[in-house]
Copies of this chain bind each other. A is one copy, B any other.
Amino acid sequence: MQKTIAVDMDGVLADVEAHALNLYYKQSGILLTKKDIEGRKEAEMLPDGLFYKLVREKGFFREVPVMPGAIEAIKKLSENFTIYIVSAAMEFPQSLPEKREWLAEYFPDISWRNIIFCGDKSVIKTDYMIDDHAKNLDFCQGKAIMFAAFHNQSQNQHLKFGNWDAVTAFFENE
């Protein structure tokens, strides 16, 4: 039986960071780069708690660009592993159909059988979990793999990779 990998969406498959910075630029005229927000917490990514307002807006999750390299990486990993997409979507109910549609567009080969929208991820048991949030990885039941993001810069308690090429290379030896 193939080993299983739980793959997070926001900040891992979906470039939420780029999308939020782009929307902020359109709304404010202020251009923040990925470098500008490095080390900030998610809540402080944009001024006045704007990030959490943006993610609650209709359409936010449907329009997020796909993370560079993610499509190729999932295709490659699917050859030897069973992939589950596991997104903590339940906090934002409006995101549920949007995330489902987004996955159908960018990852049409992922079956509905392998998609999980949840709240906390503590009852998800896969052999590996790829996520950008320590709260999901710290207690996960498989091998934790942190996907680097602006908000986890100082967190190094897990195996950590900066992009999808590095993740794919790691799994070549697993």
User: Which of B116, B120, B123 sits near A6, CB closer than 8 Å?
Assistant: B123
Taking CB as reference atom, which chain B residue is nearest A119? B113
Taking CB as reference atom, which chain B residue is nearest A126? B123
Distance from A22 Cβ to chain B, minimum over Cβ atoms (Å): 26
Q: Which of A86-94, A143-151, A153-161 contacts B (4 or more CB under 8 A)?
A: A86-94
Q: Would you call B123 and A119 a contact (CB within 8 A)?
A: no
Q: Would you call A97 and B90 a contact (CB within 8 A)?
A: no
Q: Would you call A120 and B124 a contact (CB within 8 A)?
A: no
User: Which of B96, B120, B126, B141 sits near A96, CB closer than 8 Å?
Assistant: B96
Q: Would you call A120 and B113 a contact (CB within 8 A)?
A: yes
User: Which of B96, B97, B116, B120 sits near A123, CB closer than 8 Å?
Assistant: B116
Cβ of A64 within 8 Å of any chain B Cβ, yes or no, is: no
Copies of this protein in the complex: 2
Interface centre among A97, A119, A141 (most CB of B within 10 A): A119
Q: Within residues 49 to 107 of chain A, which ones have a CB less than 8 A from any CB in chain B? A: 84, 90-91, 93-94, 96-97, 100-101
CA distance A117 to B115 in the complex (A): 8
Q: Would you call B119 and A118 a contact (CB within 8 A)?
A: no
Distance from A96 Cβ to chain B, minimum over Cβ atoms (Å): 4
Q: Which 10 A-B pairs rank lowest in CB-CB distance, beginning with the nearest? A: A113-B119, A125-B125, A96-B96, A90-B112, A116-B118, A113-B120, A93-B100, A117-B117, A112-B119, A90-B115
Supposing A91-B112, A112-B91 touch, asked if A96 and B117 sit within 8 A by C-beta, the answer is: yes
Q: Would you call B90 and A123 a contact (CB within 8 A)?
A: no
Q: Which residues of B contact A141 (CB under 8 A)?
A: 125
Cβ of A111 within 8 Å of any chain B Cβ, yes or no, is: yes
Taking CB as reference atom, which chain B residue is nearest A120? B113
Q: Which residues of B contact A117 (CB under 8 A)?
A: 90, 96, 116-118
